[in-house]
Amino acid sequence: MIGGHRDRFNHVYSVRYDSWSYLPKLPEGHNLAPNVCVNYQDKAIFTFMTDARLNIKVAAMDLQSAERFPMPYDKVMKWALVLPHYFHKIDRFHLKSAITLADGRVAVYARGRPEGIKEQIMTLVLFFRVYSNDEGWSLDFDDYE
């Protein structure tokens, strides 16, 4: 469960042991809901959200280094991308779902009104390139259709 607690804690449930454990929590400023999550090749989980100013923010949890604890702890997910509204210029913006593509990019399904469209809200697919280095995960906005 991603962000399922008012203190931004993430949880994982073990069917085998019938117990919950804590994972790194969401970064400060990350909405608890609504957000969209995607498992990136079993290496990371990315959470996509928009804030009140329609900035796109993506937090990353590295699955290879994420530790499970029976009690809450202070490790926090890092921001992988903060994309200001003036860059993507999509209004009336709502994220719906996300998937990892075969080419390694992440596609996010959304609704919104791109710049230049007068009234109509349309279905959009946003594409993000994924990068990993010693400092963690990062994403770049690629394009949308």
Long-range CB contacts (within 8 A, 24+) of 120-123: 121/92
pLDDT at site 45: 92
Q: Where are the domains of the chain?
A: 10-144
For residue 124, report the phi and psi dihedrals to the nearest 5 degrees.
Answer: -130, 150
The set of residues, in sequence order, having a beta carbon less than 8 Å from that of 115 and lying 6+ positions away, is 89, 90
Other C-beta atoms within 10 Å of 22: how many? Answer: 18
Task: Indicate the SS3 state at residue 86.
Answer: helix
What average pLDDT score do residues 93-114 get?
Answer: 92
The per-residue pLDDT for range 31-62, each reduced to its tens digit, is 766 689 999 999 999 999 988 888 999 999 89
Count CA atoms closer than 13 A to 68's CA, side-chain side.
10
Confidence bin at 80 (pLDDT 50/70/90): very high
